[in-house]
């Protein structure tokens, strides 16, 4: 396997937002808490997400009757300099 150069990578992450819908139209629940004691503040953020979100890639066989399963793809398929981004408005 050839060595990867970090400059070849493209970050496709997205921000967490309580308005964004995910798996089965479930939304993220974000709660923020602040506790004050002795002139100090303790801030906490709790994030609740469906355990299905962000854990895997669905291959075509997941939703297409004769679609390919994961073993049909080599690891090189997932590493490419040519990146296509599809922007879907989830709001």
Confidence band (pLDDT; 50, 70, 90) for 43?
Answer: very high
Across the chain, mean pLDDT equals 77
User: How much is the pLDDT for 44?
Assistant: 93
Whole-structure pTM value: 0.41
Residue 59 burial by Cβ neighbours in a 10 Å radius (0-12, 13-18, 19+) = middle
Q: Is 86 helix (H, G, I), strand (E, B) or coil?
A: coil
């Amino acid at each position: 396997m050839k060595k990867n150069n970090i400059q070849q990578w493209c970050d496709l992450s997205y921000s967490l937002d309580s308005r964004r819908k995910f798996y089965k139209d479930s939304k993220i629940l974000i709660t923020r808490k602040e506790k004050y004691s002795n002139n100090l503040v303790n801030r906490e953020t709790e994030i609740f997400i469906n355990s299905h979100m962000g854990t895997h890639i669905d291959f075509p066989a997941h939703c297409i009757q004769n679609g390919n399963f994961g073993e049909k793809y080599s690891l090189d398929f997932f590493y490419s300099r040519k990146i296509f981004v599809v922007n879907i408005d989830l709001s």
